[in-house]
Amino acid sequence: MDSRISARALAEALGGWRGTGPAYEALADGVRLLCLDNRLAPATALPAERELATALSLSRTTVAAAYRSLRDTGHIESLRGSGSVTLPVGRNDPGRYEADDTIIDLQQASPAAWPGLPAVVSEVAQDAPALVARIGYDVVGDPTLRSAIAERYVRRGLPTDPDQILVTTGAQSAIHLIASILLTRADRVMIETPTYPHAADAFRRVGARLVGVPVDPERGWDLERAAQTFARALPTLAYLMPDFHNPTGRTMTSLEAATFVEGARRVGSVLVLDETTAELDIDRRETAAPFPDDDRIIRVASLGKTVWGGLRVGWIRAAPDIIRRLAAGRPVHDLGTPEFEQAIAARLVPRLDEISVQRGDLLRAGRDSLVAALRRTFPEWEVPEPSGGVSLWVGIGHPLSTPLVMNARARGLALSAGSRFAVEGGHDRRLRLPFTAAPPTLERAVDILRTAWDDVRGGGSVATRDELSTVV
């Protein structure tokens, strides 16, 4: 067995798993969703029935029935004397259809590649002899690319030298590096809820304790909670996504930004600003709230959302001493970002303004189509209209996000439940719906969602064994 999850940890991961059907099937669906989201890795040993029953305040009979249902659908296997372990599940490529054209995967909020990317790749390929002449190992990053990134910050009004830039293999790699170098076990991290779940995973991996600050698509950040968290928890680090927050799409006001800066300065917290969605402006009427140029502010960005998710290039902007600390600790994780990808990025970064405008046009079409379809089909839901970003944070009115996602998956639509983005449980009345796919695909997804919602609200079965085997 590769790993084991405790009853308490599994209960926290399940969040609000209870639906309208039998408790055992709702529990089984919650575990299925954790497997499908890869929050429960294959070969993870599950808690004993009695332990999980105690953690969830259920009867052992209910947990036993849930485990039996999971065995029937091939999500776990149980061996006498060894307990139950999760099994690998099949996955489809995000955003693509299967050969039978029946699966829509909207779990990943990733737009298609920028149309001009193939030409840039071809240009770089012609320079292959010069590229392979380099040593190929550089934990800080290619000087040309670092200079281009620094110049972009200068144009934003943030004087930046190349020695303040470290190039990484994407934003997620940057967040993992920051967590592993700047945090120690039991350090407290302030983090938004809902939030980008892989960032939360990175902080948990190093043993940090997460303290959530709510973000609402209409009201924004809970500033009272933020002030209390700084004063009482004394967080070592605060992770924020201030521009087109994922998943709510909300952008910080000047008051919100100032509140976090003041709180962090008062207690000495490091602010990590995730700017991976900051370029995804559709029709923002006001400029984003500026954060000052401060030595305790670290900025993380990448080309994943603006150019292509398959171009694994990101970067960290921080004070030179922090960059040196991160570079010194990086070889434990990797020895640098691939040279070919960096050469591509060096040609793209100076064109990001142009690329962002084109990306905004694509996202506008998806957003407008999805908002219109949802408001027409689900007049009872709360459907926001963000001015940028990649997704809608939809209020569905009932704590049924998990069973709805499971039911939709059985019908050929893969989504992420609201609980996936929670820090301390909850958000089961919310559903993240990316608008990065083409409008016809999004409209078809809404039709599937309507059928699934009617079934879940009517107490219908989420999926049979055969139905689940066709989509996982």
Please report, to the nearest 10 degrees, the dihedral formed by the alpha carbons of residues 429, 385, 95, 303 taken in order: -120
pLDDT of residue 35: 86
User: Tokens 């506008």 identify what position?
Assistant: 364
For the ranges 6-20, 122-136, 332-346, the maximum mean pLDDT occurs at: 332-346
Cα distance between residue 373 and residue 213, in whole Å: 31
User: Taking the complete model, does pTM exceed 0.75, yes or no?
Assistant: yes
Which parts of 22-174 are beta strand (E)? 44-45, 76-79, 83-86, 104-105, 165-168
Helical axes 171-182 vs 197-205, angle rounded to 10°: 30
Cα distance between residue 5 and residue 207, in whole Å: 15
pLDDT greater at residue 136 or residue 326 = 326
pLDDT of residue 452: 96
Other C-beta atoms lying within 10 Å of the C-beta of residue 469: 14
Cα distance between residue 463 and residue 131, in whole Å: 52
pLDDT of residue 73: 86
pLDDT of residue 472: 31
Residue-wise pLDDT for 382-415, tens only, equals 999 999 999 999 999 999 898 899 899 889 999 9
Q: Which of 101-105, 119-123, 282-286, 356-360 has the lowest mean pLDDT?
A: 101-105
> Are 244 and 275 in contact, with CB atoms under 8 Å apart?
no
pLDDT of residue 240: 98
Residue-wise pLDDT for 444-471, tens only, equals 999 999 999 999 998 654 443 333 333 3
Cα distance between residue 91 and residue 110, in whole Å: 16
Cα distance between residue 73 and residue 35, in whole Å: 12
Q: CA 291, 293, 299 angle in degrees (round to 5)?
A: 70
pLDDT of residue 425: 77
Which of 203, 174, 182 lies closest to 191 in space, CA to CA? 203
> Are 465 and 73 in contact, with CB atoms under 8 Å apart?
yes
Cα distance between residue 116 and residue 103, in whole Å: 28
pLDDT interval class at 16 (50, 70, 90) = low
Cα distances (angstroms) measured from residue 84 to each of 11, 32, 42, 77, 87? 16, 14, 11, 6, 10
Using a pLDDT cut of 90, give the percent of the chain over it.
72
Using a pLDDT cut of 70, give the percent of the chain over it.
93
3-state secondary structure of 32: helix
Residue-wise pLDDT for 338-352, tens only, equals 999 999 999 999 999
pLDDT of residue 101: 55
pLDDT of residue 20: 63
Cα distance between residue 175 and residue 436, in whole Å: 24
Amino acid symbol at 177:
L
pLDDT of residue 91: 43
Q: What do you get for the CA distance between the two ends of the chain, in Å?
A: 22
Which of 340, 334, 331, 333 lies closest to 313 in space, CA to CA? 340
Q: Is pLDDT of 33 > 60?
A: yes
pLDDT of residue 99: 39
> Checking phi first, is residue 25 left (phi over 0); if not, alpha (psi -120 to 50) or beta?
alpha
- Domain architecture of the chain: domains with CATH: 3-86 (1.10.10.10), 104-114+354-469 (3.90.1150.10), 128-350 (3.40.640.10)
Cα distances (angstroms) measured from residue 159 to each of 22, 165, 244, 250, 324? 59, 12, 24, 27, 19
DSSP one-letter code for 428: T
- Phi, psi (deg, nearest 5) at residue 337: -90, 140
pLDDT of residue 383: 97
> Are 251 and 388 in contact, with CB atoms under 8 Å apart?
yes
> Are 181 and 329 in contact, with CB atoms under 8 Å apart?
yes
> Are 41 and 86 in contact, with CB atoms under 8 Å apart?
yes
Cα distance between residue 137 and residue 198, in whole Å: 27
Q: Is pLDDT of 80 > 90?
A: no
User: Tokens 């149309």 identify what position?
Assistant: 115
Q: Is pLDDT of 123 > 50?
A: yes
* Helix ranges restricted to H, 183-287: 197-205, 223-233, 254-267
Residue-wise pLDDT for 169-184, tens only, equals 999 999 999 999 999 9
Cα distance between residue 409 and residue 413, in whole Å: 5
pLDDT interval class at 65 (50, 70, 90) = very high
The structure tokens listed for 203 are 């902080």
The structure tokens listed for 32 are 């299925």
